[in-house]
Each structure stands twice: as C-alpha cells, then as structure tokens.
Amino acid sequence: MNDRLAIILASGDPKVLQMGLLYARNVIRNGWMREMALYLFGPSEVQVVTDPRSRELLNEIIAAGTTPRACRYCSDEHHVSAALEALGCEVVYVGAPISEAIREGFVPMVW
C-alpha cells in the first residue's frame, strides 16, 4: 500500500483551495498517510496570501510541521514570493522536487 502523498494546490478558486488545504491539514492531524508533501502553484499562491481563511489553514499546516513548497516562477510572476516566505513557505522552483517525489513513490493529488 502506498502511503506517501504529494498534494499539489493550483486552483485560485477559494472553495477548491480551502478543500485541498483542509484535506492536507486532516492528513497530518489524523495520520492518514505516512508522509505528505504540499506544493503551491500560481493562482493558489496568490489566494493563500490574500484570503484570510486559506492563510489560516496554511498556518495550521505549517504549525503541524509541514513546510509547503511554493513555485518560485509563479510566485515571482504574481509578486507574492516575499509574502509566501513570510508565511513560512519554502519558495523554490518545484518542477524537480515534484518529479523526484513521484519517483520516490509519492502519489500526486491535484486540487
């Protein structure tokens, strides 16, 4: 059984993003997976910076010990890199880390 999950949040729709963040938070809280990695892309990066509820959920995930990785290319394009770093995200080019995670057996789940 595979119990390694890579959650990739790309949607800027606040309801979709919040559902992905809620699921990520609950994976951690309830120990549903042995490992979970969280990645933010484009519109989701802007949303977590500007939406209080999304930011609150992200803060809970970070407080639980998971450091989200945000895509530097996207965050630079949307001018939110510094804000994401201030929230506690690691801002990096995520193509290689996501590819490596998949090679290592993480199952991608995209919201």
Q: What is the pLDDT of residue 12?
A: 92
Q: What CATH code is carried by the domain that includes residue 74?
A: 3.40.1260.10
> The domain containing residue 53 runs over which residues?
4-110
Which pTM does this prediction carry?
0.94
The predicted-structure confidence for 77-100, as pLDDT tens digits, reads as follows: 999 999 999 999 999 999 999 999
- Output the DSSP codes for 16-73: HHHHHHHHHHHHHHHT-SSEEEEEE-HHHHHHHHH-HHHHHHHHHHHHTT---EEEHH
The predicted-structure confidence for 18-35, as pLDDT tens digits, reads as follows: 999 999 999 999 999 999
90: burial class by Cβ within 10 Å (0-12, 13-18, 19+)? middle
Enter the tokens of residue 67. 């450091």
Q: What is the pLDDT of residue 2?
A: 84
Number of folded domains that form the chain: 1
